[in-house]
């Protein structure tokens, strides 16, 4: 394995993060789906409570991959967990152990933060990724289906809700 450094990203890395997000969108066959911009990523990382954290893998200061994540919460466990939103290593860097190192580093962060779970999703057609994750001991939860409300459907349902009073 090459001498890879894993570090937390800062707002100065916004363009690098954006480039990885764009490359991931192309890989996942959604090249026009990215609405984030380097400026929005930078602003969010500079905010008082950033909505996400990001690990960058570098070899000799060259970015080779990223893992973007945030905390979620398990009501059953009564603790925070970590949700991995995106993990990506460009194809020409795959096979160097970078993806495993990013996941292992994120697992270490989860353990250090007393998070009992690290979770993410994988596309059902991405058998290479599924095999990789299973080789690390991951349970692919085929009986759980992701659900999502967006755009007009989200607004339509929101209009049927009650106003929530603050405390």
- Structural domain boundaries of the chain? 4-142
Alpha carbons 69 and 38: distance in angstroms, whole number: 17
Beta bridge partners, 81, equal 72
Q: Of the CATH numbers 3.30.30.60, 1.25.40.10, 2.60.40.3120, 3.40.630.30, which one belongs to the domain with range 4-142?
A: 3.40.630.30
- Give the sign of the dihedral formed by CA 28, CA 121, CA 67, CA 133: negative
**pLDDT tens-digit map of 68-125:** 999 999 999 999 999 999 999 999 999 999 999 999 999 999 999 999 999 999 999 9
pLDDT score of 141? 93
Q: Which of 23, 166, 140, 148 has the alpha carbon at shortest distance from 91?
A: 23
Q: What is the pTM of this model?
A: 0.92
pLDDT score of 2? 60
Beta bridge partners, 70, equal 83
* 11 DSSP 8-state letter: G
H helices within the chain, ranges in order?
14-27, 38-46, 98-112, 127-135, 151-158
**pLDDT tens-digit map of 48-59:** 999 999 999 999
When the pLDDT of each residue in the chain is averaged and rounded to a whole number, the result is 95
Q: In 95-166, at which residue ranges do the beta strands (DSSP E only) sit? A: 118-119
């Amino acid at each position: 394995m090459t001498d890879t450094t894993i570090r937390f990203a800062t707002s100065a890395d916004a363009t690098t993060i954006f480039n990885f997000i764009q490359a991931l969108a192309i890989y996942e066959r959604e090249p026009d789906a990215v609405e984030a911009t380097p400026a929005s990523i930078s602003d969010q990382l500079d905010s008082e409570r950033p909505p996400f954290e990001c690990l960058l893998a570098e070899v000799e200061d060259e970015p080779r991959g990223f893992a973007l994540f945030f905390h979620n919460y398990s009501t059953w466990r009564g603790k925070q967990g970590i949700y991995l939103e995106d993990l990506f290593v460009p194809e020409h860097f795959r096979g160097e152990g970078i993806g495993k190192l990013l996941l292992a580093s994120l697992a270490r962060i989860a353990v250090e933060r007393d998070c009992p779970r690290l979770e993410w999703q994988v596309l059902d057609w991405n058998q290479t990724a599924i095999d990789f994750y299973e080789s690390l001991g991951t349970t692919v939860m085929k009986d759980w289906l992701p659900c999502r409300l967006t755009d007009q459907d989200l607004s339509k349902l929101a209009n049927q809700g009650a106003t929530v009073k603050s405390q």
